[in-house]
Structure 1
């Protein structure tokens, strides 16, 4: 049974499941969920804990032995199995299915790892463990979901913050929930159970937002000018290679050109045919509504020129040029402004 991270506390407070599958690329949520399992396990008598990591050279017999061994100190065994790749492989899959079939009340199994795809979730080992336990997929939160998570964290510390203050925390730490949790903990120490103003938040916090190029292109396609510039600034400060960004922009232009051509030919857009999932369709739709064929042609020329210049290392401030290119994707008329600072 799949449960969202924000619903996990309610479920584990009701009862301890025989098995937990925790996967995802958002460390703060994973840490919170796993710590809740460990705490509940200890309180329920699972004091004997075995940690296994299925890395290269791992013997799956260790898992079988752990489920069958009896401790001198406790009859209840808590087994944590980490899958560094998110996949157990053929042998591991068979072993996990065997464990699932023979899991008794004195064994508690936790399997965790990085982000996994639908192919893993459809695997037999995952399904049989999910049927007897709970799976939690932890992904980065954005927008309203991130704001809701921040408000929950603030309430847990009995901190009173205005909507503008919560939004400030979100902006400071967007893309880095671990940093957001740390900053909220800091506010709780500085202003215990108090009402915290926007000025106090601003003075206490350090901008720890962390972005990647995939988030950047989504914001760019959606036409969010200010947020896009902020992301570019952060990516530059983190030392991201500019050629990675230009590659992403070229890829998005190619996708937009295909979509725009289909619309020009009065063809209905089949989003899945273009590999665009539901959560990103609105971004592309906004860009298509905003950009004409002529603007896309101008962007192509600018991208070609910039890509060549980047590869020749003749641009002194590449991120200024990248900002210029992103603004063109947002529909700003920059044709009269020289793109390259040669």
Structure 2
């Protein structure tokens, strides 16, 4: 029987099934799902746990021996089969089919598998694990990029934290779909934030790389008009292994803000009112930086730089030829006030 995560929690409250299967390629979600099952087994009195790591040379006789032997230490026990290759082999398939037909009364079986493709799901052993009345099959699907912010928001809420949209955007970009990294960042933020409310500045301080250079200093160097320093920071970030999407996010965020403010200034709105109308609000210490940057370029030029940022994004995704790092360097130099021709 197939279950999703919510159905699994409900089923575990009603009592243990003889066999559970967790299948998927997302380590964090698979691990947490398996932990739910382990926890339910402990609550049901399972004090003994046996774990078998299955490869091609594995002797399935060990599993048969374990299933037929009585525990000396506990009335209930948990046996785990971890099959990273996704295939139990002929001997393993027979053991699994026999287990489903005659599950030991004192044992819960937990099987961990990678995501099974359509061909594997049509095999006799897999169909049995999915459909048999004694089995509960939990398919773990990856979190898609567009789902990540909502997933992050839910995880933060579960940790007692609330993030502003800007802070959530930075966190989502930083972890780049790596849910294990996301969970680690959230644990760090729990220690960093006493109030439970996270804004962009707090997240920047909490998750900034321990490296000598960081993306926020890069933005400041660009705003200051210091092209040489900005390029040196960019080179340092790249050398420290910071990914291009994180760099581009920091640059693009500043460019969008500058482009919008330059339009307002061109309409005759006073600079202090332009700054006051920005959301999120501009910190006082950044207003001089932004003021000098706005004096260097018109709204039209900031728009050209935004189109360059779009080009860098397409290069990162492999949709356009060229190096996103080179395009980011070009943006930094031009935004800093060095005269270059933008053929866009």
- Normalising by the smaller structure, the TM-score range is 0.5 to 0.7
What residue number does 1:326 align with? 319
> Measured at CA, do residues 111 and 72 of structure 1 come closer, stay the same or move farther in structure 2, by a change above 3 Å?
same
Describe the SS at the equivalent of 1:326: coil
Which one has a bigger Cα radius of gyration?
2
Select the residue among 121, 137, 140 that pairs with 2:139: 137
Whole-Å separation in 2 of the counterparts to 1:172 and 1:324: 16
Match of 2:89 in 1: 89
Partner of 1:47: 47
1:100 aligns with 2:100: yes
> CA offsets per residue over residues 8-63 of structure 1, 9 Å max, x none?
44443443222111122211111111111111111111111111112232111111
* Structure 1: gaps of 5 or more residues: 208-232, 240-318, 330-342
Q: In the TM superposition, what is the alpha-carbon distance from 1:159 to its structure 2 partner?
A: 0.7
CA RMSD of aligned residues (A): 3.2
TM-score norm. by structure 1 comes to: 0.59
**Residue in 1 aligned with 2:37?**
37
Q: Distance in 1 between matches of 2:192 and 2:13?
A: 30
What SS does the aligned partner of 1:64 have? Answer: helix
CA distance in 2, matches of 1:326, 1:54: 41
Question: Against the structure 1 CA distance between its residues 325 and 126, is the aligned structure 2 distance closer, same or farther, given a 3 Å change threshold?
Answer: closer
What residue number does 2:167 align with?
Answer: 165
Partners of 1:36 and 1:237 in 2: how far apart?
35
Query: Relative to 1, partners in 2 of residues 1:129 and 1:323: Cα closer, same or farther, differing over 3 Å?
Result: closer
Displacement, 1:161? 1.4
Gaps of 5+ in 2: 210-236, 244-311, 323-344
Q: 1:192 to 1:129 in 2, by over 3 A?
A: farther
For the residue of structure 1 that corresponds to 2:21, the secondary structure is strand
After TM superposition, the score normalised by the length of structure 2 is: 0.58
SS at match of 1:149: helix
8 Å contact kept, 1:64–1:99: no
Give the match for residue 188 of structure 1: 190
1:151 aligns with 2:144: no
Within 5 A, what are the aligned runs for 1:100-119? 100-119=100-119
8 Å contact 1:142–1:174 — kept in the other structure?
A: no
The answer as to whether partners of 2:156 and 2:186 remain within 8 angstroms in 1 is yes
Task: Label 1:51 to 1:325 Cα distance change in 2 as closer, same or farther (>3 A).
Answer: closer
Q: Distance in 2 between matches of 1:166 and 1:55?
A: 41
* Alignment deviations for residues 158-179 of structure 1 (CA, whole Å, 9 cap, x no partner): 1111233222211111221100
How far did residue 128 of structure 1 move? 2.2
